[in-house]
Amino acid sequence: TQLLEQSPQFLSIQEGENLTVYCNSSSVFSSLQWYRQEPGEGPVLLVTVVTGGEVKKLKRLTFQFGDARKDSSLHITAAQPGDTGLYLCAGVDTGRRALTFGSGTRLQVQP
């Protein structure tokens, strides 16, 4: 069974701080996706990283895929209260056709 471990599980920071969320697995994925989920809603895709070592930027969010395609990180610069939510990484395994989700990181940004 492929597992994705996210750390930290919970993070409470002040507006303007930087943070990094990690997503680790012992398995190789063909690509990895990051989602954000807000209360009462379903997850929304933020980014897909495909190539080992790939870095993608989405405004203040920077996503990196590990060289071995087993891990990924999400870095947020100058966090804002609007960044509050549950961040989920999901491994894409074309063989299984389904997403394997990480355990999630619940982020709260205090104004």
Partner 1 sequence: DSGVTQTPKHLITATGQRVTLRCSPRSGDLSVYWYQQSLDQGLQFLIQYYNGEERAKGNILERFSAQQFPDLHSELNLSSLELGDSALYFCASSEVLGAGTYNEQFFGPGTRLTVL
Contact residues for partner 1, defined by CB under 8 A: 30-31, 40-45, 48, 50, 88, 92-94, 96-104
Of 27 and 103, the one with the shorter C-beta distance to partner 1 is 103
Query: For the chain, give me the number of helices (H) and strands (E)?
Result: 0, 11
Judge whether 74 and 12 are in contact, CB under 8 Å.
Answer: no
Q: Kindly state the smallest distance separating residue 23's Cβ from partner 1, in Å.
A: 12
Measured in residues, the chain has a length of 111
Q: Kindly state the smallest distance separating residue 15's Cβ from partner 1, in Å.
A: 27
Of 15 and 41, the one with the shorter C-beta distance to partner 1 is 41
